[in-house]
Structures are given as C-alpha cells and as structure tokens.
Amino acid sequence: MIRISKKMYYAVDAVLHIALTQNEKYTISSRALADAQQVSTRYMEQTLQQLVRRGILIGTRGPRGGYRLARPPEQITIGDILAGLRRNGVGRVEDIEGSPAGQAVLIPLFDSLVRENIERLDRITIADLISGCRNDGRRAAGDARGGRHRPSAEKGSRKDMAIA
C-alpha cells in the first residue's frame, strides 16, 4: 500500500551498507555508497544529508569525511528512515471525492491499511536486516562494485580499508 520510491530504497540500502561495514574508526564516503548502488554521488549525498538531519547518520566533512550511524542498528527502524523521505500526503489516503458510501467505508479502510504498514516498518530495525543478511549467507557488502571505507576525520587515521 505504501509506495516505496527509489530514494527510499536507496536510503535504507545505504544505512544497511553503513551498518554492515562500519566500525568506530571508519566512515564510508558518499561516493562509495553511490558506486555500490550505481547512482550519482550528488543524488546519494542529498539522500544522506536528509538522514543526517533526521538523526540517523552522522556526517563528517572533509577529504577523509564520510558517514556512520548516529545510533546503534537496534535503535534505527525502517520507519525512521522512510519518515524523513516521505512527501506530503504519503502515509494516508488522498482526499477523494467519491460516493458517500466510499467515503464512509473505503477511505477509513485504506487509511487503516497504510497505518498498519507504517507500524510494521516501525518495528523492523537495521539490526534485523543485518541478521537477515548474515543468516542468508550472501555477501552483503563490498562486492565487485567497490565500496571503500574512509578513516574518520575525527580519529585522524589515514589508512583506507577495503571492504571484504
């Protein structure tokens, strides 16, 4: 019922990628995330900045800058990520001029279905997705498309570490 836009998909994928690959010493650049998802760096940067404003990511500027999670994966839900990216009107049925019966029955029904989907997304954490990736046995990050860590500017390290 909820339309998941490309931007929403890329945002959740980026947060998952960061969660799978981060540690306290390293951040991951917007370029590495964009390359991994095969989107432009500018597009990815705009999405990541929205996540910073929502308190999901912490961004560090500069040549060794990048992104890391603002809180533990157990405390970030899919609903948190999508809430910052929804446009006005998403999350409830549009005002529709229909029959009185439709307005009385269908709009509340569809509003309820949308609300249930949002509530479900609010219960799924990034930690749940990480667990799913690891239980599935697939390589979750750092495939042949790239993805490199950048040392956090806060830590002062200069080594780049390739993602396995």
At 38-74, the pLDDT tens digits run: 999 999 999 999 999 999 999 998 888 899 999 999 9
Structural domain includes residue 105? yes
Structural domain includes residue 159? no
CATH number at residue 117: 1.10.10.10
Q: pLDDT band at residue 95, thresholds of 50, 70 and 90?
A: low
Pick the more confident residue, 46 or 26: 46
Structural domain includes residue 85? yes
Structural domain includes residue 44? yes
Structural domain includes residue 161? no
The predicted model gives 97-121 an average pLDDT of 83
Output the pLDDT for position 1. Answer: 55
Question: Burial of 16 by CB count in 10 Å (0-12 exposed, 13-18 middle, 19+ buried)?
Answer: buried
The model's pTM is: 0.73
CA neighbor of 34 nearest in space, from 9, 65, 10, 67:
10
Rounded-to-integer distance, Cα 92 and Cα 47, Å: 23
For the chain, the domain total comes to 1
Q: Which residues constitute the domain of residue 31?
A: 6-151
**Mean of all residue pLDDT scores within the chain:** 78
Pick the more confident residue, 125 or 134: 125
Structural domain includes residue 163? no
Q: What is the pLDDT of residues 78-90, one digit of tens each?
A: 999 988 776 544 5
Structural domain includes residue 160? no
Contact status, residue 152 vs residue 25, Cβ threshold 8 Å: yes
Distance of CA 30 to the CA centre of its chain: 13
Structural domain includes residue 118? yes
Q: What is the pLDDT of residues 133-144, one digit of tens each?
A: 877 655 444 442
DSSP of 85-136, one letter per residue?
Answer: TPPTTTTSPPP----HHHHHHHHHHHHHHHHHHHHHHTT-BHHHHHHHHHHH
